[in-house]
Amino acid sequence: MATSEETLLKEYYHSLSVEADEIAELKLNAAIRKGITRSQKFNMSLKARYVLGSAAMLAILLLFVFPWGSEALKPRSGALSSQVTVQDMKWFEAYSKVAGSDSTVNSALAAGLIKPISGATAETDGYVLTVEAVAADRMGILFFYKLENKNLSASAYSLSVTTVADIELGQGAYFSSNPKAVSGVTRGYQKALWNRNYTKLPERMAVKLSVVGPVGGVVDGIQNFATTTEVYVPITIEQNAVAQSGETVSINRTMEIAGQDVEIGDVYIAATGIYVETAYSPQNSVEIFGLNSPHILLGGGNDFTALYSKASINVEGKQFLVFPGSELSPGTMKLQIDGINGLEKSAQELIVDTDKKQIIKGPDDRLRITAASNTHSLIMEYQRPSNKSAGYTANVILDQTFKDGAGKLHTATYNPAVPVIDPAHADDKVPPFQHAYKLGTAELPQPLTFKIISYPNLIKGSAELTLRK
């Protein structure tokens, strides 16, 4: 799947929770970004929730040898929870605290979809990785792992799955956010999403644990990090079992939200979650960047459970809303959406003069160009109306191709060195976000014209669609 840097960033920001404790995290993030840079080989954020990389990071991906049978992967209702044996629960006891009330984990466990396994382990340089249970389907995999660090010092790490040629197969990688947690034995679980259609996944893969540590001394207050140890576990998947897993419900209906059409295709219900295929009508007057508060209601009568989507993914040209799994309450399933994030297509043009530090044409007065902008660098500030605003569900992202004052096309690249929150604004009650692009080394004739491909502009409206009666 070929995906542009801007699209990946857009998808990543759509995955952020709007319920985060922003201010404390933003202050910490600003301090981290001021004092730490990353090597090109391994770009790691100590607070992955706010990382500004050039790839969307959604989850950890992990696979291993396991004889998946198609029956073991088919969804079952909560009524089959009796199939979870005492032996099944014994291994889960060690994970019950970290899993908590995660509906995806609990429903998959109750349905008998998570299977304990043995023998999936590897060790390098004192790092032992063991996978103890798994559930897989056509969109991703849910697994439980144990990581033992026999070394005296703690280390940060990432986990991913690759081909035998070391090509990533998952949508991003999971980074540990607390290095102290991996000194000794750490247990955890992750849901990972495929970055391509399951029918094209290779049968032979490798699980890779990347341990990250400081490299060299501190120079000018900056510490570089890089991969210091890698652990590989050869793996094999059974494609037919994955292909037959889950349940697909064809909807093929259109929802009208704020006068715009959102097309709902297939709904895929499986162990790793509920996936709703969406598409935006090309006839819409508004360019939709994302949906506001999409949620699924499960239940009946006046007793419904709400499952909120905090991520959207793109797999080979198809867009999906990702919801937590929950088949413990079978019955009516409704999709509700409370608005859209978007701009009128005629308002997507951004014209700036980086020499004069002026925005000649823009979407609104919430977007400003900073004094630090110049011919080679465009730095914008977006002033959020509140801490819990649409700024967490859509971001200011520009198309990488832009035009100079003479009509010549150029390519801009996202600049991750600029913090999300400028340290100068870290103590503001509502600090603005900063977004920066490198424009190259040439002296460009002004003004410069960009196309906005994502912007946090909420247009309210509500719609409901029954997915299952």
Residue for token digits 């959020």? 384
Residue for token digits 């952020």? 16
Q: What is the reported pLDDT for 96?
A: 87
Measure CA 240 to chain center: 27
Digitized pLDDT (tens) for each residue of the chain, 469 residues in all? 334 444 444 443 333 333 333 333 333 333 333 332 232 233 333 222 222 222 222 222 222 222 222 222 233 222 223 345 555 677 888 888 888 889 999 888 888 888 887 778 899 999 998 888 878 889 988 888 888 999 888 778 888 877 888 888 887 656 665 555 567 888 888 888 888 877 778 887 777 888 888 888 777 666 777 888 998 877 777 788 888 889 999 999 999 999 999 999 999 999 999 999 999 999 999 999 999 999 999 988 788 889 999 888 988 889 999 999 986 556 899 999 999 999 999 999 999 999 999 999 999 999 999 999 998 999 999 998 876 654 445 689 999 999 999 999 999 999 888 888 888 888 888 889 999 999 999 999 999 999 999 999 999 999 999 999 8
Residue for token digits 């950890």? 60
Dihedral pair phi/psi, residue 220, rounded to 5°: 55, 40
Tokens at residue 254, please?
């259109």
Which residues on neighbouring strands pair with residue 204, listed in sequence order?
236
What single DSSP character describes residue 445?
Answer: P
Give dist(CA 239, CA 361) in Å, integer.
51
Contacts of 116 (CB under 8 A, 6+ apart): 87, 88, 91, 132, 133
Give dist(CA 133, CA 128) in Å, integer.
16
What single DSSP character describes residue 172?
Answer: S
Give dist(CA 87, CA 94) in Å, integer.
13
Q: What is the reported pLDDT for 357?
A: 95
How many Å is the maximal CA-CA distance in the chain?
72
Cβ-contact 343, 335 below 8 angstroms = no
Judged by DSSP in three states, 78 sits in helix
Of the candidates 276, 263, 332, the one whose C-alpha atom is nearest the C-alpha of residue 308 is 276
One-letter amino acid for residue 81 of the chain? S
pTM: 0.77
DSSP 10-75: HHHHHTS-TTS-HHHHHHHHHHHHHHB---SS----SSGGG---SS--------------HHHHS-
Cβ-contact 269, 328 below 8 angstroms = no
Contacts of 341 (CB under 8 A, 6+ apart): 288, 289, 290, 291, 292, 390, 393, 394, 455, 456, 457, 458, 459
What single DSSP character describes residue 446?
Answer: S
Give dist(CA 182, CA 155) in Å, integer.
6
Give dist(CA 412, CA 438) in Å, integer.
6
Give dist(CA 58, CA 174) in Å, integer.
7
Phi-psi group of 455: left, alpha or beta (phi > 0 → left; psi -120 to 50 → alpha; rest → beta): beta
Of the candidates 68, 108, 115, 112, the one whose C-alpha atom is nearest the C-alpha of residue 237 is 68
Measure the CA angle with vertex 25, ends 19 and 30; round to 5°: 140
Cβ-contact 156, 46 below 8 angstroms = yes
